Structure 1
Amino acid sequence: MRYRTLDPKLIIETAERLEERVAARFPDAGLRGVAAELVSLSRDLTKAAKALEAPIWWLRGIIVAIFVAGALMFLFVGTILPLSQADDAVQSVQSIEASINMIILAVLGFLALIRAEERIKRKRVFRQLHGLRSLIHVIDMHQLTKDPAALSANFKPTSHSPARITNAADLARYLDYCSEMLSITGKIAALFAQSVNDDVVIDGVNDIENLASNLSRKIWQKITLIESHPAAQPAPAPGPVSQAAPSPRRAPKR
């Protein structure tokens, strides 16, 4: 069972390690603050997902109390109230019909109360996923201006151009960090699908994962362009210097 479920502790540790890597390589970049926010959000959302696994006991207590009160009311109407007119066939049919309607309404009301717990948990999940979706768009904004075209010798920035990373290795690493952040957000969202077995929640989690995957795919397209750029190619290692073969001596003329 260890490798069949996501471990929230390992997700938090992965986010913390990524924040340290970003801080070590880009200490002054705004991406460092985004990585720190991802760590904070991962801690909060893992606690929220864990809390959703427990039943809502106060709501279940209310459901049981309503069910007991409804059953007692039904017994009161059926046994205590005088039904001497039941000898009449028409009134007997009406009494049976009223009883059936009461039972149907009681069952429908009971089912609605049972589904109330699912609706409450579903609302809590989507409230948390909204913050996660916002962070995904923030990550996308940070990688938006990291264009491989800045590595070209013909690239001419304007006075309004943002600050660019002109080193191919640093640019690829920056984009790789953004892709890792998006992957972690998808795993955090999956914790809610793991805690709440609800089709609507699973669809919402899938939307978050698809959003993160699509943005990560765009980032890797940039990384591929960087790796194919001449500036990212390693310089050829100097080979051994070949010595010219000594020219054969000519025989002296006699």
Structure 2
Amino acid sequence: MQTPSHQQRGSFRTLDPDKILETARALHSRVKQRFPASGLCGASNELVLITSEAKERAGLLARPNRWVRAVAVVLGVLLASTCVITLTLGSLRFREVASTLSDLAQGIDAGTHVAILLSAAIYSLVTLEMRMKRSPALKALHELRSLAHIIDLHQLRKDPEIFTGDRDPMIGPANEPGLSAVQVERYLDYCSEMLAILSKAAALYVENCKDAMVLRAVDEVENLVCGLSRKIWQKIKILYRLREIQRRPGQVETDPLHSPTPIRVLTAHAPSGAKANFSSGLNPPKTYE
């Protein structure tokens, strides 16, 4: 009987698809609460769907193909029987007449060819099961890779420079109107969390499938996610630094969905006829209403 400590250790050594799906649904609920009309909300909903599909597909990959394995067992029995019969007949013939060595050699040669063919058939059947599982796994991982690029497209327009006033107007608008620095930072944070969940969904496919091509595809998805998340966190660090620099005495900035008290957004208009005084010397940020 397993002790509670042993059961607890085991629960942290394998991925739980239900927990991953639960986390994806919770993240979608948070995104829908803050950005209900944004494309990121739709992407988070798609993440829930694709995580649910990963749970089902990973379960199918873990199940053995009984028909293929049964045929492989039958061929294995035939191979063993052929080897035994060939060796037995060869031994009997060798004992009967020593002059019939040519017949003995022909019999051994024929048995060897049969054994080789049966071995090749068994190997093909064993790898057939893996190939049958490989195709849907690679297709699903390609969908995860595409979703990662879609999430990256959503964060491309979230530019921290818009809050410094230094952005070139010829480049065009960056962030959606009405988003403050805190909201953009939260938006980017959600993108990073979605990419993290996506990589966990990809890892589900190699929990019970050890195919080399599938493992390589999962590694590619994880490397892609790490690279995209690194870019996002660079923006988050810049936004955090800007808010620290631009914060004035007596002005508090918090997340409006976590604070019951009104807040003053840092992107407020500067007083008429005067410039905002920032300790860093940055230009006053633009206002989005």
Measured on the aligned residues, the alpha-carbon RMSD in Å equals 2.8
Cα distance between partner residues in 2 of 1:162 and 1:227:
18
Structure 1 length-normalised TM: 0.81
Q: Which residue pairs with 2:275 in the alignment?
A: none
Question: Is the 1:175–1:219 contact (alpha carbons within 8 Å) kept by the matching residues of 2?
Answer: yes
- Decide which moves more: 114-123 or 66-75: 66-75
Deviations 1:200-238 (A, max 9, x none): 322221111111111000100111111111577433238
Deviations 1:103-148 (A, max 9, x none): 1222222122112111211222111111111101100111111111
Question: Is the 2:28–2:45 contact (alpha carbons within 8 Å) kept by the matching residues of 1?
Answer: yes
Cα distance between partner residues in 2 of 1:155 and 1:234:
20
1:63 aligns with 2:72: yes
Cα distance between partner residues in 2 of 1:58 and 1:235:
72
Q: Which residue pairs with 2:210 in the alignment?
A: 197
1:109 aligns with 2:121: yes
What SS does the corresponding residue of 1:124 show, helix, strand or coil?
Answer: helix
The match for 1:152 among 161, 164, 186 is 164
Larger radius of gyration: 1
What SS does the corresponding residue of 2:248 show, helix, strand or coil?
Answer: coil
Question: Is the 2:82–2:111 contact (alpha carbons within 8 Å) kept by the matching residues of 1?
Answer: no
1:235 aligns with 2:240: no
Q: After the TM superposition, which parts of structure 1 deviate over 4 Å for at least 4 consecutive aligned residues?
A: 65-79, 83-87, 230-233
Cα distance between partner residues in 2 of 1:232 and 1:122:
52
Question: Is the 1:23–1:32 contact (alpha carbons within 8 Å) kept by the matching residues of 2?
Answer: yes
Gaps of 5+ in 1: 239-254
Gaps of 5+ in 2: 1-9, 252-289
Closer/same/farther in 2, CA of residues 131 and 42 from structure 1, 3 Å limit? same
Cα distance between partner residues in 2 of 1:89 and 1:189:
60
The match for 2:223 among 198, 210, 213 is 210
Q: Which residue pairs with 1:134 in the alignment?
A: 146
Cα distance between partner residues in 2 of 1:27 and 1:51:
34
Please tell me the residue identity of whatever aligns with 2:112.
I
After the TM superposition, which residues 77-88 of structure 1 pair with which residues of structure 2 at under 5 Å, given as runs?
A: 88=100
Number of equivalent positions: 235
Question: Is the 1:15–1:39 contact (alpha carbons within 8 Å) kept by the matching residues of 2?
Answer: yes
Cα distance between partner residues in 2 of 1:231 and 1:75:
81
Question: Equivalent pairs: percent with the same residue?
Answer: 38
Q: Which residue pairs with 1:12 in the alignment?
A: 21
Closer/same/farther in 2, CA of residues 196 and 86 from structure 1, 3 Å limit? farther
1:38 aligns with 2:22: no
What SS does the corresponding residue of 1:229 show, helix, strand or coil?
Answer: helix
Cα distance between partner residues in 2 of 1:174 and 1:95:
75
- Decide which moves more: 172-181 or 117-126: 117-126
Deviations 1:171-201 (A, max 9, x none): 1111000000000001011111112133332
Please tell me the residue identity of whatever aligns with 2:11.
R
Question: Is the 1:139–1:178 contact (alpha carbons within 8 Å) kept by the matching residues of 2?
Answer: yes
Cα distance between partner residues in 2 of 1:60 and 1:188:
28
Structure 2 length-normalised TM: 0.72
